[in-house]
Each structure stands twice: as C-alpha cells, then as structure tokens.
Amino acid sequence: MSAAVSIAFRNGVSSWVDGVCRHAWFVLVASLVLAGLSGWYTATHLAIDTDTDGMLSSELDFRQNSIRLKQAFPQLSNNIAIVIDGDTADQADDAALALARALRGQPGLFRNVFDPRGEPFLRRNGLLFLDEDKLGQLVDRLAAAQVFLAKLSRDPSLRGLFGVLRLALDNSDAAASPAELKRVLNAVADAADAEIAGRRDVVSWSGLLDGKRAADDRRRIILVQPRLDFASLAPASDAMATIRRQAVSLGLTRDAGVRIRLTGSAPLEHEELESVAEGMGIAGIVSLTLVLVLLLWGLKSPRLVAALLVTLIMGLIWTAAFATLTVGRLNLISVAFAVLFIGLSVDFGIHFVLRVREEMAKAPSVLAAMRPAADGVSGALWLCAIAAAIAFFSFLPTDYVGLAELGVIAGSGMFIALFANLTVLPACMVIAPPARTAGADAVTVIAAGRRSWRIRHARAIVGVAVVLALAAAALSPLVRFDFDPLNLKDRSTESVQTLFDLMGNEDTAPYTADVLAANEAAAKDLTARLEALPTVKSVLSIERFVPGDQENKLAIIESAALLMLPALEAPRIASPNDARTSVAFKQFRDQLAKMVSSPVSGSASLSPTIRRLWSSLGRLTPTTDTLRSLERRLLSTLPGRLQALRESLEAGPVILADLPPSLWGRFVGQQGQRRLEIFPSENVREQVHLRRFVADVQTVAPHATGSPVIIVAAGEAVVRAFAIAAAIS
C-alpha cells in the first residue's frame, strides 16, 4: 500500500513538473504576476507589531497580573525616563523644570509628564520630609545667611554680590559663621579661575546654602508617557526626537553643563527595534551574498544561479503575502522568517538543479531531464519540507506567541519554497537551459569520494563522536539559562548604558516589584508583611507622601519663614549697566588688595582665602564680555534657588486628601486599588538574588508583578515552550 502511494505521489509531482516545463512561459509570467500582486498586498497590509509584551500569551498568570496593573495605572506603561545630569545640582534642577514645562505644552505628543522633584506639592512641602534635626540645621544655616540672601534677592548681579561680600569682609571679625563666608569666597575664586581657564564651571548655590551635596544629587529624572504608534517600526521616534530637539532649544547641552539621556521601556524598545532592523538587514544581505557566492562556486552556471535567485525572490514574496493574510503582522521574532527562508529555499533548489544536471548527462535535452529528475528528488524534498515545517509548527501549542507566529510563517514557508522550486525553477531552466558540463559528474565523484572516506574511517568517526558526546554531557550541567532580557540588549546604545548607570544607585534602580491591593486596609496589611521580608528594603505607597511629625517641623519652618520671607520677597532693584558692574568689580578687587597688604584683625582665618580670591580676580581682565560671563557663572542659578526657598517656606499641614493627582494617580487607581512599589534589599541583577526576591514577595503577594517578577516568569515560560517544542518535533 505504502509503495503504491509513494509511486503515485512521485508520478504526480513528476507530471506537475512536466506540465510546468511544457508551459514554461505561461508559468513564469503567471508567477511574476502573482509575485507582483503579493508584493503589493504585503506592502499595503502587513503590520509591524513592536510591542514586546505580546511575545508571550496574555493568558499566563504573570501576564494577567501585569495587564491588571496597566489597566489600573496606564500612566506607568511605555514611559520614557529622561535622565538629566548637571555639573551642579542647580543646573540639573533648572534643566528639569524647564524641560518638563516645555513637554507639558505638547499634550498631543505626551500623555503624561511627571517631574518628581519639580512637582509643586513636593517643592512646597519638601522640607517636611527631612528629619527634625536636619531641618533644624538647615534653618540655622539659612538664618545665618539671611542678610546675605536678602541683599542678593534684591540685586542678583555682580554689583549685588560684590557689595554684600564687601560688607561681610568689613565685618569679618563679627561674622557669625566665618566658614560660610570662606565657602562663598572660595566659590567666587573658583568661578574666576574657571573663567580664566575657559572651563564651564558654575557655582552651585544649593551647595553653598545646604552644605556639601553628594554627586548623585546632580541628577534629575523626568518620566514622560508618549503617544506610541505600534504599527510603526519606530513607535517612539517622534517623541524621542522632540525631547532632544526641545532640550537643545532650551540650551540644555553638554557645553552648558547639562547632559540629557533617554532610557525606559519606550527608548529601550526603540533602540532594540533599530538594532533588529539593522541586524535583519545585515543578516539578509550577508545571507543572500553568501548564497550567491556558494551557488556561483558550486554550480559554475550563471543561468542556474539566476534561476535559483528568481525562484528564491518569488517564494520570499509569496511567503510574506501568506504571513500578511494569515497572521497579519510581524513581531520582533517573526521578522527573521526571511533569513530562514533564504537558506532553506535555496537548499531545496540546489537539490533539484543538481539532480537535473545528473539527468542531463543521459537525456537529449533539459526538458527530457526534468521528469526523471523530479521523480528522483521529489520524495526527499517533500520529506525535508515536512520535517522542517514540523520543527517550526511545534511552537504553536506553546505560550511563546512570538515564536509561534514565526512557526506559522516559516513552517508554511517551507511548502511555499518547495512549490516555488517545483514550479518557477523548472520553468526558468527550460526557458534558459544551462549548458551541458561535466559538473554533474564532478559532483557525483566528490560525493562518492566523501562516502568512501566515511566508510574507510567509520570506526574513528564514531569514536570521536562518542567522545564529543560524553564531553558535552559532562559540561551540560554547567549551562546556565540567562533569563534577564537586559543582557540581550546592545550595551553600546544610550538607553542601555543609562539604565545600567541608574542600576548603580539603589534609589534609582528600576528592578522593583509592584503589588495591587484592593483597598487601603489591604494595602497597609500587605505593606507590613512585605517590609518584614529580609529581601525587601522598603515599600513605597501613597501614605509615604504624608510627612510624619508635622507639628514640630511646621513650627520650625514657620519661624524660618517669619525671618526669611520678608527679605526674599522684597522688590528687585534695576540691574546695573556694564559700567556700574565694572566699577563694582574694581571696588571689590581693591578692597581685597588692601586686606592682603594690611590684614584686618579678626580675619586671620580668612587670610589665605582672601589672598587666593585677590589673586584670581587680579588675573582676570575685566572686559564687558568677561564680567558678563563671570556673572553667569556666579549667579545664573541663584534665582531658581531663591524661588525654591520661597516655595519651601510656604509649607502647610498635609493630609492624604491634599496629595495632587500627579502623585495620587500613580498609587491609587480609579476603583480604589492601591499600588505598592517594593524595593529589594539585594542586588537583583544577580540571578540568585532576583529569584529569592521574587519568591519571597510572591509568598506574601502571589499576584505581584513588575520587572523582577516578569523576568523570572517569562524566562520559565520560554524554557517551558522550548521543552514542549522539542518534545513535539
């Protein structure tokens, strides 16, 4: 029975090829028309799905948890994190405020703009989040600088600065804090030295007022949610380009002491897509080039090579049209079908043309050689196509949707490739028959020689294979599956480099877990249980934005406000012209010269600083441009700090209902759900710590989600999918 079926099948294929050859021109023209229509249909209907979340089935538990979080808090998805690093904390603050304000003015491109440090609520009530001792120390420093700040608030120019410094130096023996004065004088000297050297240094007034600041405090992060078009191969490109363009227009450049970088899910996916597109383009070109070289070297017949390339291109277009018709889209994995198709389709074609060349040695013409060639090779080709298709289709019953879609396209593409090689290829060979050569005999001789060699060295080959198999088996337990997708990304891209930079700081590390609680009571219970876990550092909830010990802190702030606000809110006087600025500079420098030549009693501790400042200013040529540049270095960030100080002194009692929508909406859903953000106590970039953190959190909150949970669960789903596919195939 099986023999009869095999004979009937081979006869059917042979008859098909024979019919194709007898109507070669009709077949070729019809194939070209079909390819043209397929190309048009693909170009106008095929979508590109760049949403990486959809790579795994939405029915998986961890995907369901993630979807629920996104539905409750849509503003947390597909964000761009704008990382702003300034040479000083002041420059970072001013840059973040200016950029956030500009982006909020483009709601058509950005759904949400969240600047944590620039939120009015936090600027007004930020002092309440300090502990009482630190708040008291800060207020004491501000009180000591009250006269200094009052004068600068009225006249924030070189005239005002030099005037208040002259007054301070005249009374240096009675100065309440010589150390504070010394710090200001050194800052002026630093600015003068930078002006002479051509460096871009700018004085940090927040550092002068608030003591030494850590380097990490020079960083600000703005979270923006752009409007993405997932039908585009670059859904975030417009938003990212707008952010960069806006930053340049605001003067937020490296030359101005500000560095702007983009990371977050949207830029990471955008740059990954660029890498995929570039990689697929390179892979396609390299694959096609190598195939062409192989064909020219192996077949030594331009006509056969041309026939194979025409067949390959038509088959590829038909497969793309099939993908458009059946799946409707390409994802980041299924775009690889083209490279797979090139290699496997050409393999079918090589088998066919070599068999035809063998038959041509015995037949009077290429037409006469076609039927016996098809009869001889059709069974093997069909078997290869079926075997390859089974391997691809084996992913269909798995949860790996991205690979399953590739399986549908590539598996079906095997039969399309076979059809093309049994239709287009024979027609091309009949229309442009290859010359008779000894190529077939040479191939036969080479193949026979290889078979003979394998037979003569059979024992050695088997022995080497066994040794290699045993060695591989011994090493296999050492194989480790790295399930962190971040390690697959291109580390040369800005988004990945920036993300790793953020991971170096535990306060900005993005690997945090999220838990949805049904209500406030459930959130409090979960918070207590989660914070008891050894792998949990802290849990952030909406309640954390209500400061504690408010009564005492408000009393301290109120007393500071009574002292500071009248001075800070005094009207500004007119800015001096260039001539007055030059006079103020010379008067200050002359006073320093007198103090250097005739030190004042009580200023001994300031003498080295005064001498240094006099030397620095003495080396400065006080041209108009130089003095303007010096003023910018010394005072450009002062107005922003004075404004921030005014706002912070207006703090008032805070209850939960006072929290603004920008904060409330990130932690409380429309149905009353509470989001808890869980920070790990260990470095979860290490797999052992990551698994332990996820396992611990899930013992308390099985429905937890967030990057750590998704990474672990997705890795397990991928391994499971490959195990199922391997078992099927």
Mean pLDDT of 445-471: 75
Asked if 510 and 707 touch (Cβ cutoff 8 Å), the reply is yes
User: What is the tens place of the pLDDT at every residue in 153-192?
Assistant: 999 999 999 999 988 888 765 555 677 888 889 999 999 9
Backbone angles phi, psi at 73, to 5 degrees: -135, 70
User: What is the tens place of the pLDDT at every residue in 659-669?
Assistant: 999 999 999 99
The CATH topology of domain 2-45+287-436 is: Multidrug efflux transporter AcrB transmembrane fold (1.20.1640)
**What is the rounded distance in angstroms from the CA atom of residue 506 to the CA atom of residue 52?**
26
**What is the rounded distance in angstroms from the CA atom of residue 322 to the CA atom of residue 311?**
16
Backbone angles phi, psi at 24, to 5 degrees: -60, -45
Mean pLDDT of 649-661: 92
Q: At what angle do helices 178-197 and 624-635 cross, to 10 degrees?
A: 130
Q: Which residues pair with 84 in a beta bridge?
A: 220, 260
Residue labelled with tokens 């023999």 = 3
pTM over 0.85: no
**What is the rounded distance in angstroms from the CA atom of residue 398 to the CA atom of residue 723?**
9
Q: Is 242 helix (H, G, I), strand (E, B) or coil?
A: helix
pLDDT of residue 440: 45
Backbone angles phi, psi at 603, to 5 degrees: -110, 20
Higher per-residue confidence, 132 vs 440: 132
Of the candidates 241, 121, 109, the residue with the CA atom closest to the CA atom of residue 666 = 121
Instruction: Find the range with the poorest average confidence among 579-588, 597-606, 636-645.
Output: 597-606
pLDDT of residue 626: 92
Backbone angles phi, psi at 423, to 5 degrees: -125, -65
Domain boundaries, the chain: 2-45+287-436, 147-211+561-648
Asked if 202 and 630 touch (Cβ cutoff 8 Å), the reply is no
pLDDT of residue 231: 61
**What is the rounded distance in angstroms from the CA atom of residue 359 to the CA atom of residue 367?**
10
pLDDT of residue 214: 43
Q: Is 433 helix (H, G, I), strand (E, B) or coil?
A: coil
pLDDT of residue 320: 94
| Amino acid identity at 124 | R
CA angle 128, 123, 656 (to 5 degrees): 55
Q: How far apart, in Å, are the Cα atoms of 193 and each of 40, 166, 231, 606, 612?
A: 66, 20, 54, 19, 10
pLDDT of residue 456: 75
Give residues with Cβ within 8 angstroms of 415, minimum separation 6.
385, 389
Q: Assign 514 a pLDDT band (cuts: 50, 70, 90).
A: very high
Of the candidates 650, 604, 707, 703, the residue with the CA atom closest to the CA atom of residue 127 = 650
Q: b or e along 419-455 (b: 16 or more beta carbons within 10 Å of the residue's beta carbon)?
A: ebbbbbbbbbbbeebbeeeebbeebeeeeeeeeeeee
Would the pLDDT of 447 be above 80? no
Q: b or e along 691-705 (b: 16 or more beta carbons within 10 Å of the residue's beta carbon)?
A: bbbbebbbebbebbb
pLDDT of residue 439: 46
Higher per-residue confidence, 99 vs 718: 99
- Retrieve residue 493's tokens: 């891209």
Question: What are the helix and strand counts (H, E) for the chain?
Answer: 29, 10
Of the candidates 414, 370, 373, the residue with the CA atom closest to the CA atom of residue 393 = 414
Would the pLDDT of 374 be above 90? no
Of the candidates 274, 276, 266, the residue with the CA atom closest to the CA atom of residue 240 = 266
Q: What is the CA radius of gyration of the chain?
A: 37
User: What is the tens place of the pLDDT at every residue in 50-86?
Assistant: 777 788 888 999 999 999 999 999 998 889 999 999 9
Instruction: Find the range with the poorest average confidence among 383-397, 472-486, 557-571, 586-600.
Output: 472-486
Mean pLDDT of 350-360: 86
Would the pLDDT of 441 be above 50? no
User: What is the tens place of the pLDDT at every residue in 241-264?
Assistant: 999 999 999 999 998 999 999 998
- Beta strands 329-330 and 47-48 are parallel
Give residues with Cβ within 8 angstroms of 705, minimum separation 6.
62, 65, 66, 68, 69, 513, 514, 515, 516
**What is the rounded distance in angstroms from the CA atom of residue 552 to the CA atom of residue 548?**
10
Q: Which residues pair with 513 in a beta bridge?
A: 678, 706
Rounded to the nearest integer, the mean pLDDT of the chain is 87
Residue labelled with tokens 């996104």 = 70
CB count within 10 Å of CB 23 equals: 13
Would the pLDDT of 1 be above 50? no
Of the candidates 114, 66, 227, 9, the residue with the CA atom closest to the CA atom of residue 708 = 66
Helix (H) or strand (E) holding 648: helix 638-648
Exposed, middle or buried by CB within 10 Å (0-12, 13-18, 19+), for 116? middle
Instruction: Find the range with the poorest average confidence among 102-106, 340-344, 628-632.
Output: 340-344
Adjacency order of strands within the sheet including 513-517: 536-540, 674-680, 513-517, 705-706
pLDDT of residue 691: 92
Mean pLDDT of 306-330: 93
Instruction: Find the range with the poorest average confidence among 84-93, 345-354, 457-466, 698-707.
Output: 457-466
Mean pLDDT of 647-676: 92
Would the pLDDT of 684 be above 70? yes
Asked if 22 and 428 touch (Cβ cutoff 8 Å), the reply is no
**What is the rounded distance in angstroms from the CA atom of residue 99 to the CA atom of residue 222?**
9
Q: b or e along 482-518 (b: 16 or more beta carbons within 10 Å of the residue's beta carbon)?
A: ebbbbeebeeebebbebbeebbeeeeebebbbbbbbe
Would the pLDDT of 3 be above 70? no
